[in-house]
Amino acid sequence: MSRAKILIIDDDPVCTGILLAMLGDDYDVTSVNSGSGGIEVLKSLTPDLILLDITMPHVNGYQVIQYLKGSEETAKIPLVVISSLAEQSDKDFALKLGVDDYITKPVMPDAIQEMIEAYL
């Protein structure tokens, strides 16, 4: 059985490193450090789950969400925001755009693992 593919789109190397360490043994994980890089990777990769940061330069997470939900090829991929933006208004806006879940940083390993299992 092939391993599930997870795409991490986050410009924070510390957060990305933590997620890679937590997930790398169980999943095929690809990470990119920009919203535009994430959009580019999605032209050749169809992940089973996307973990997305909101606060990134140039192309932010909200723009990536709009791109993903506006494309027939990517609209159905489970999309989870992992962000340092902890205001309810940030979460509400992301959910309104169509994300499946919203987790605030710092990430807790148990919460991430439970969330991933729920979507895969």
Per-residue pLDDT tens for 54-94? 999 899 999 999 999 999 999 999 999 999 999 999 999 99
- DSSP secondary-structure letter at 32? E
- DSSP secondary-structure letter at 27? S
- Report the topology of domain 5-119: Rossmann fold (3.40.50)
Domain residue ranges in the chain: 5-119
Instruction: Give the pLDDT band (50/70/90) at residue 108.
Output: confident
Nearest to 29 by CA among 14, 41, 11: 41
Q: Does 20 have pLDDT greater than 80? A: yes
If you write DSSP's letter for every residue of 82-112 in order, what string do you get?
EES---HHHHHHHHHHT-SEEEESSPPHHHH
**pTM exceeds 0.85 for this model:** yes
